[in-house]
Structure 1
Amino acid sequence: MTDRGPGTLEDELTVLFVDDYPEYAKAGVEYLERTDDAMEVLSETCAEAALERLSMDAVDCVVCDYEMPTMNGAELLESVREDHPALPFIILSGHEPDRLAPSVEASAAVVLQKGSGTHTFEQLRSQIRELTPAETGFCFDNVTG
């Protein structure tokens, strides 16, 4: 038995993982890809590069650290919402959620608190899957009758 998650070819996802601490981002990317066969994780170390990536690549979910230089997670979220209002967005923070900018709560972003070990990454994987349900292939254009 493997430790693979529920990912299948039918529910492939592309996740953008943004964290200014490269080692943390690398650990997150490796955990998510190792535990979910159908998850491809792109990584950036600053919000500006993340915005550029979003303008070029199709992404199903953004995961972002809250504390980053030049643009924090709340500011990145605000910028992302301008062009991608429905894109699932998860903020990882070492702070209690009530210490984050009020705009985070108002935006319907999910906030997860960073912790040690793989528990945080497993919560993250679960949350990504919950926010980005698999496509069913159903389309009203295909209904006849």
Structure 2
Amino acid sequence: MTLIPAGSTALAPWALFITPESAGWAYAGLRLLCLSGESVEFTTGDEEMLVLPMSGSCEVECDGVRLTLHGRTSVFHAVSDFAYLPVGATARITGTGRFAFPAARASRSFPVRYGPAREVPVEVRGAGQASRQVNNFCAPDAFD
């Protein structure tokens, strides 16, 4: 496991910017964006990614598609809706809150899509006080 010290990967406008190379991973990356009502435009490059509200809500514009993510108060409050962004896309995010962008290198491009919170598979793992809820955003059996 690669240790990535807090604050060491910020790359404006991203509060966190981890690439497969910087983490020593083969395909996965992660970005975190904190917004206070402003917009940020970026390209996905050779990665497909999700826009996943950790807290707050936002508008997503990508490839001529506009989506509203109603989000949530916090990751402990509820499951959130999300957006899928394809490889090679230009996106604009406008909102207030903290947003995660889990990403993966990909060669195929799919259309921009909305993932409603009500369709995110939720499972409980463990028993008693050790049980934890797992939200399977973009799980292959639920989101192609």
Fold shared per TM-score above 0.5 = no
**Which structure is higher in helix share?**
1
